[in-house]
Chains A and B, each alone.
Chain A
Amino acid sequence: MTGTGDLVENYLDQLYVGLRGSPRQGRRILAEAEDHLREGVADGVAAGLTEREAQEQAISSFGSVRAVVRAHDRRLRTVPGLAVLADVAMSGWRLGSIGLLAVGASGLVAAVMNLAFGRSFVGTASGAALPLAACRHWFSNWPGAHSCAQAYLLESSSDAVSLRVFTGLIGLTLLGGYHLARRSGWSRGVLPDAFAPTIGMSLFGAAGLGLLALSLSHVSVLGPLTTGPGSYLSGAVVALAMAAVFAVQVQRTLLRHARR
């Protein structure tokens, strides 16, 4: 029996509304409660009770929604410190991997900027004489360059892509490792759902705004070398996009809790 006439369904609905904690904990508590109640009903019916009587008895034996929620709340308040540490470490692993992946994405944005706005938009221009040995190295990589400054511009604008993409690949590998670890149960699910998204939103937001300010300020942070605004802007675009993604996650989590 299901629907409004099913006392077990109604009980589980109330339990769902009352439960706090992570979604995983909630799903587990509900699944165990349903299995327990259904088995209790089956035993009651087998003992000669009507379906409704068996449901009433099973629910009565299970305890009031308030008592069950309170018992789970007490347990969640006494979460072992190690479980919290493990979840914080897992969150750090996830956010760090996503951070490296974002660096990789900014390399791709820099590549598009190189094509769209020219190498000087992303690369570094030199206002002073460059070391001879370094010039020889850049000329060997860019034999078509007309000057050492142009070779350096080409080298730096190219590095802005290749080094970042390589960093992104490391992030992708680490993110894969994170998901494997999560499936293996390394994450205990004791932290609030909004924990990692809130930190991600804050860090990416701050990084994005900082990079945006650098790209607009035209302030050289490399002495006589002037980095093109695209170098910072490519990072700012990705960081702010990531901050927006995390902000949506935070909003959804808060709305879900508000509805409970």
Chain B
Amino acid sequence: MNRERLKGHLDLLLLSVLAAGPAHGYAVISALRQRSAGTFDLPEGTVYPALHRLEDTGLLSSSWAAVDGRRRRVYSLTSKGATALAAEQGEWRRFARGVQAVTGGLVTAGGTA
């Protein structure tokens, strides 16, 4: 998938993954790749600034944990993040339905042309 297009929806994707529970960056990115069956495959290191930005805006919170002698930052969805996620999901569904309605028609027309 086009990376620039994916970046436009990255916030929604990250919030959706973290809606399942707190997770560190590696787990979030792995879940993103697995749940999209490899469609969403950004350079992993570029996802962290997005997580930091979501934390800056209060949609995520994070704290340090120690694992195998290393420090690990674990992210959680805040209540503000949950509200924003619900709104984003609703908007996305409306958008996807609209796109599907239009492009689905085009494909059908193209296929029958």
Contact = CB atoms under 8 A, between A and B. Distances in A.
Nearest to B7: A71
A29 B51 CA distance: 11
B43 A36 contact: no
SS of B interface (majority): helix
B45 A80 contact: no
A39 B68 CA distance: 10
Interface residues of A, number: 26
B26 A36 contact: yes
Given A35-B71, A63-B44, A40 B53 contact: no
A38 B51 CA distance: 19
Given A32-B25, A35-B24, A38-B70, A67 B52 contact: no
Contacts of B71: 31, 35
Question: What is the interface of chain A mostly: helix, strand, loop, or mixed?
Answer: helix
A75 B53 contact: yes
Interface string A98-140: 0000000000000000000000000000000000000000000
A135 B90 CA distance: 79
Interface of B: 24-26, 29, 42-46, 48-50, 52-53, 56-57, 67-68, 70-73
18 contacts: A31-B72, A32-B48, A33-B48, A35-B24, A35-B67, A36-B26, A39-B26, A40-B26, A61-B43, A63-B42, A63-B43, A67-B46, A71-B48, A75-B50, A75-B53, A79-B56, A80-B57, A83-B56
